[in-house]
Structure 1
Amino acid sequence: MIIATSSIPSDATQSPSMSPLDSGHVQVPSFPFHLLPLHLQEFILSLLPISSLLRLLPISRSFFSLLRSSTFLSLLHHDRHHRDDLFFFLFTDLLCPSPSFAAAFHPSSCRWLLLPLPSSFSDPHASSSSLAVVDHKLAAGTLTLAAARLLSRSPPLALPPMIPILHPYVLAVIDDGVDLFKVVAVSTGDRVYSQVYDSRRGRWEQTGQYDGRFAVLGSAKFLDGLLFVLSYGPDRLLSFNPGNGRWKLVDVEMPAKIVSSHLLVFEKELFLVGGLEELGEIAMIGIWRLDLSEMEWRVVCFMPDEFFGKFGRYSGRFYHFEAIGEMGMICLYNADDSQVLIFDLVERKWWWPPPCHLIPENRRRRWFGHAVMPSINLLKPFDGG
């Protein structure tokens, strides 16, 4: 839906704010939108993606006031999702220790954008929606964790130190979209130990352990109250309940010879993206769906040869790739060749995005790798301006 710019009130040139997603306005035939009753304006605007609403903020004082009003925000559900709101934050500048921008790909428009990162932003550990857990340098120079809203001007929120048990590391962040979140951290040694930071309590708490030995826990996705986690060495699927701290081994066999595996969630189902190994390297890449009734991974599809030939074999031996995704849109990345490939689960279509030229070739790109969905929190005023 496009709001006609020719019907915007005369105060449009006095922009109260600039949106990080502002990309200009499209001229279309005029429509007296401002003459509609206020409740109809609010209803129509509530159907737009968050990214479109953010672009409307600087158009006029009328839009700015309407979009930030409590009555309008009450129409928006914090868990609402729209494909137009999906951005893949893929690269930052390796030469910048605290990058201010990320090269992001917007699948809906097939465009690369330079989008801002919060101040004092450093290496991200995990993300959900627009919330990321990152390294954060304090004034004294010490390093701790922080929770940061991507696409927001709000400064990162420093978290207290984790409980120092066997070198814990962040596994996942669970974002409920209303300024509340949980961060799950684990340590792996003789068994799995877990701790959870709950923003409601403002502290880390030990929540449970699992009597199993794994080299590392990796890809994790939250679904129906459980955090599903892939282990590597050996490869298994685990579930963790952040409410009661219970770990369970999911009774499903992983596909044989799978490597470089990643979990995704789409339409309340769990998907797996991974490579199948032959003679010590990846010979094909597949996508599977977890069938809970039969407790097995069902093949969705394999990457066609014409795409795999370019994505996986361009530089010779192929051992590893990255995969991120939301809303059924999957982004795969081969760091050896800087190849980016997109798969659309809805249309069952593989396609190549255009090359990214936002970071000059003489400056090295660092993989960022987070799927970002703007939150309705970005429409709200934040402390500090």
Structure 2
Amino acid sequence: MASPSMAMDPRIWRNLPQNLLDRILAFLPPPSFFRARAVCKRLYSLIFSDTFLEMHLHLSPSLHWFLFFPSTNIPTPTTTTTTTTPTTLSTAFLLNTNDNTWHHLSFSSLIPPNFSPAASSGGLLCFISTTPGLKTLILCNPLSKLISQLPSSLRPRLFPSVGLTVGHSSFICVIAGDDLISPFAVKNLTAETFHADGLTGFYSPWTTASSLPRLCNLESGLMLFISGRFYCMNYSPFSVLAYDVASNDWFKIQAPMRRFLRCPSLVDLGGRVVLVAAVEKSKLNVPRSLRLWVLQPCGRAWAELDRMPAEVYRQFSEAEGGHGFECVGHGCLIVITIKDSNDILLFNSHRKVWWWAPPCPFLDVRQRRGLRGFAYEPRLATPSVGLLETPTSISFHAFSA
């Protein structure tokens, strides 16, 4: 801690040019920025300033954080029932991986009933309607509380897989599978793409359709977007589905050790497609473990990247207990969430370090509902939503911690 003699003279701060002060504030992480807004009216109003938001957009460092929703707020193909009781999304928990601190975000007055989180990218979360039929998607910035609604999809679906990639001036959204071919049956037949680009003026609202490969089963998993392609897991047997946006084509990639995998997940690890799964077979010559494979540049072959140390895997197996798990990647980090548990395991691929996240203080330790994780980069400004119609709701709230 600096001594009083080293403290900066308040008169220096008072005389700093406003543009220089704004530039300093643009580097603050969101929790610090929202606390600084309480200093005076001018700082409070910065979030309404287009000039400041543009500066923040270009200067603020990338933050590889994760957002978690209680799994009870997220239906699955087996829990998306025909009941008419509406489900309301109320809360989420933000993990700052730089210092392992938690923050609480409320969605109770923002997202309407019967919507659940489905994807994230570029500071935006994508929510999809959970009622069967034509699908409605909402893009939401959790910090500015600005939301925009996409037009309804062209095909009725039950609970399709969703992919999203967001840039400063463009976004692409894909929904795939779970085509409602009758009120009582679904098949994974087609995908639809929504593409908007402010630089080229290209705007394609669900007019780009494509056929999925035969005998595919997406199981409503998360999609990745890397180097012009969306990727998602395919089940029975395990493989990877890839969608090339430019050519509008889907194809399959065989998964490594596909007969011995359990709970496979695809993660984005520093711009690389990585498959994470438990490897289990009673007569396998190697110990049971959790392994990571990276997709090679050829786009067809895999190479083992890393595996969980034996002692960590023993702890993980005890916590997981065969209930299943999911993985999400962001930057050099991977988080593993366990079904029916609030425990979260993290892996830093650069430092080769595994550790358990501190318990979320906003969760009741007596209720182990499970958490669904999403990669999240907090951004005060997400201008690509301006490519849609006038936002349906705009309000501004501070972080609560």
TM-score band, normalised by the shorter chain? Answer: 0.7 to 0.9
1:47 corresponds to: 27
Q: Distance in 2 between matches of 1:29 and 1:280?
A: 67
Q: Distance in 2 between matches of 1:151 and 1:280?
A: 48
Sort the Cα spacing of 1:325 and 1:80 in 2 relative to 1 into closer, same or farther, 3 A.
farther
Sort the Cα spacing of 1:51 and 1:243 in 2 relative to 1 into closer, same or farther, 3 A.
farther
Confirm or deny: 8 A CA contact 1:168 1:185 kept in the other structure. no
Q: Distance in 2 between matches of 1:336 and 1:364?
A: 6
TM score, norm. by length of structure 1: 0.76
Q: Distance in 1 between matches of 2:187 and 2:71?
A: 36
2:228 corresponds to: 225
CA drift of 1:322 comes to: 0.9
Confirm or deny: 8 A CA contact 2:147 2:394 kept in the other structure. no
Q: Distance in 2 between matches of 1:323 and 1:87?
A: 11
Q: What is the CA RMSD across the aligned residues, in angstroms?
A: 3.9
1:195 corresponds to: 192
1:123 corresponds to: 116
Structure 1: tracts of 5 or more residues without a match: 7-27
- Map 1:1-385 → 2, pairs under 5 A: 32-66=12-46, 68-77=48-57, 81-83=61-63, 86-91=65-70, 97-117=87-107, 118-120=110-112, 122-136=115-129, 145-152=136-143, 154=145, 156-164=147-155, 167=158, 169-178=160-169, 180-187=170-177, 192-198=189-195, 201=203, 203-216=205-218, 218-250=221-253, 253-256=255-258, 257-279=260-282, 283-292=288-297, 296-314=301-319, 316=321, 318=322, 320-361=324-365, 363=367, 365-377=369-381, 384-385=394-395
CA drift of 1:222 comes to: 0.7
**1:297-321 Cα shifts (integer Å, max 9, x gaps):** 22222112222112213474x2621
**1:109-138 Cα shifts (integer Å, max 9, x gaps):** 212322222342632222224322324599
Aligned positions, number: 354
Confirm or deny: 8 A CA contact 1:91 1:104 kept in the other structure. no
1:11 corresponds to: none
Out of 72-81 and 294-303, give the one that drifted further. 72-81
CA drift of 1:337 comes to: 4.5
**1:186-225 Cα shifts (integer Å, max 9, x gaps):** 1268774211123564732242224432122634211122
CA drift of 1:350 comes to: 0.5
Sort the Cα spacing of 1:33 and 1:92 in 2 relative to 1 into closer, same or farther, 3 A.
farther
Confirm or deny: 8 A CA contact 2:171 2:196 kept in the other structure. yes
Q: Distance in 1 between matches of 2:290 and 2:69?
A: 20
Sort the Cα spacing of 1:34 and 1:66 in 2 relative to 1 into closer, same or farther, 3 A.
farther
The SS at the match of 2:256 is: coil
Sort the Cα spacing of 1:296 and 1:144 in 2 relative to 1 into closer, same or farther, 3 A.
closer
Give the AA of the match of 1:163: L
Sort the Cα spacing of 1:265 and 1:137 in 2 relative to 1 into closer, same or farther, 3 A.
closer
Q: Distance in 2 between matches of 1:159 and 1:69?
A: 26
Sort the Cα spacing of 1:213 and 1:76 in 2 relative to 1 into closer, same or farther, 3 A.
same
% identity of equivalent residues: 20
The SS at the match of 1:215 is: coil
Taking CA–CA contacts closer than 8 Å with sequence separation of 6 or more, which of the two structures ends up with the larger relative contact order? 2
1:22 corresponds to: none
Q: Distance in 2 between matches of 1:101 and 1:89?
A: 9
Sort the Cα spacing of 1:114 and 1:279 in 2 relative to 1 into closer, same or farther, 3 A.
same
Sort the Cα spacing of 1:219 and 1:275 in 2 relative to 1 into closer, same or farther, 3 A.
farther
The SS at the match of 1:365 is: coil
TM score, norm. by length of structure 2: 0.73
Give the AA of the match of 2:51: T
Sort the Cα spacing of 1:78 and 1:144 in 2 relative to 1 into closer, same or farther, 3 A.
farther
Give the AA of the match of 1:63: L
Give the AA of the match of 1:193: T
Q: Distance in 2 between matches of 1:72 and 1:314?
A: 46
**1:157-185 Cα shifts (integer Å, max 9, x gaps):** 3433322267571321222244x533211
Confirm or deny: 8 A CA contact 1:274 1:287 kept in the other structure. yes
Give the AA of the match of 2:302: W
1:19 corresponds to: none
The SS at the match of 1:171 is: strand
Out of 112-121 and 323-332, give the one that drifted further. 112-121
